[in-house]
Amino acid sequence: MIKGIKGVKDILPEETPRWRFIEDSARRWALCYGYQEIRIPIFELTVLFARSIGSATDIVEKEMYTFSDRDGSSVTLRPEGTAGTVRAFIEHNRVADPRPQKYFYIGPMFRHERPQAGRLRQFHQFGVESFGTADSRADVEVIALLWRLLSDLGLPNLTLEINSLGSSGDRAAYTPLLRSFLSQQESRLCGNCRRRMETNPLRVLDCKVPDCRAATESAPRLTDHLSPEALAHFDQVLAGLVAVGVSYRLNPRLVRGLDYYCLTSFEITSAHLGAQNAVAAGGRYDGLVEMLGGPSVPAVGFAVGLERVSLMLPRASSSSSNEWLYYVAAFGKIGTKLGLVLLDELRRMGLAAQCDYRATTLKTHLRQADRSNCRYAILLGDDEARRGSIILRNLESKVQEELPLAGLSTLLKTRTPPS
């Protein structure tokens, strides 16, 4: 037997109503905030991700699904959606469009991580990207959208953690200070952090290993070394969040695992998620469009991990299951023939209907009808066929009525309560 790949999950029919509920909410909130859907490819040239996410990040160093295409070019399954969205923004010259360019996407992403609860190799993100303004109100807007969505879904114990990563100039001035602090603490750091000290020292602050956290407790803080402009931007974002009623917790250790960020960076965490506690994350990336060959266009966005949302979603909110209205129980020689046509007529009218073709007797049909999630059964045997009628049976109350077969779907259409 051929099994699925580790960390790559099937989403079975029992779970899809839950997923639809989450995705529908995400779409609704995105549209409400003026974001339009974009669909970007699942795979892109490897260089796009290496250059944007950063060659010294965990994602690029060890988590990408990269392979040679038939023409020898190196391509990669997208580990996230920002890089592809920026590429599309540049390639289609969206900067020339005078309207605000605000996009959202929903789809699978791929990272070769060690699978565990809430961490998969194929997972799904809902993300938004807002291009074209450095105004702090855009930061507030994306965070508010994210907060409204997650609150609307009823996710428990959410915390918005926020930090400023300053401008690239701020980081260039701060990094030597941090590196010199870290080199004094080197013996207390884990192997990974010792390596990162050289390649990506800011990430050391984000390490979850308790000894590393203790060793960096008194590390110089980037927020104490922000330029006046970066500080003013951060203050405006925080004031905006207060104004729209989104509370936050300052986290000076918050350093994202992707290199393109500057200024505002944030995560939404929940104690409910255990080790993989970030349900969503994002920030500003004002230099990325230019770095990928486009004009200088500031941008800000976030992505939510939908598996993590699904893990946290209260049971009751996703109870709506797949529902059909009619089960057509057609049996007997003539009944079966007429049933085939009736089933199709109902569906053509837009009335959701189903039938189990394996059932050939009234008894087996009724058993399947009860299992089917349908509200009514339409009984059509040879006797009914001869009388030119059917029996409509309410599967809950068991009340039955006889109705004419001719024009039945039209009659039922007028009776169906609008859904």
Contacts with ligand HAM, residue ranges (CB under 6 A): 80-82, 111, 113, 118-120, 123, 125, 127, 129, 257-258, 278-283, 301-303, 305, 307-308
C-alpha separations of 245 from 82, 148, 300 in Å: 27, 11, 20
Looking at beta carbons only, is 129 or 384 nearer to ligand HAM? 129
Looking at beta carbons only, is 241 or 281 nearer to ligand HAM? 281
- At its nearest, how many Å lie between ligand HAM and the CB of residue 20? 19
Cβ count near 183 (within 10 Å): 13
* Burial (CB count <10 Å: 0-12, 13-18, 19+), residue 296: exposed
- At its nearest, how many Å lie between ligand HAM and the CB of residue 223? 20
- At its nearest, how many Å lie between ligand HAM and the CB of residue 10? 15
- At its nearest, how many Å lie between ligand HAM and the CB of residue 115? 8
Looking at beta carbons only, is 281 or 343 nearer to ligand HAM? 281
Residue 272 backbone zone (phi > 0: left; psi -120 to 50: alpha; other: beta): alpha
- At its nearest, how many Å lie between ligand HAM and the CB of residue 395? 40
First to last CA, the chain: 42
Looking at beta carbons only, is 126 or 327 nearer to ligand HAM? 126
Can you read off the two tokens belonging to residue 242? Answer: 């207060």
Looking at beta carbons only, is 261 or 376 nearer to ligand HAM? 261
Nearest of 266, 282, 281, 268 to residue 312 by alpha carbon: 268
Ranked by CB distance to ligand HAM, the top (closest) residue is 305
Residue count of the chain: 419
Looking at beta carbons only, is 305 or 332 nearer to ligand HAM? 305
C-alpha separations of 152 from 24, 82, 163 in Å: 12, 24, 25
Residues 146, 313: Cα–Cα separation, whole Å: 15
- At its nearest, how many Å lie between ligand HAM and the CB of residue 210? 22
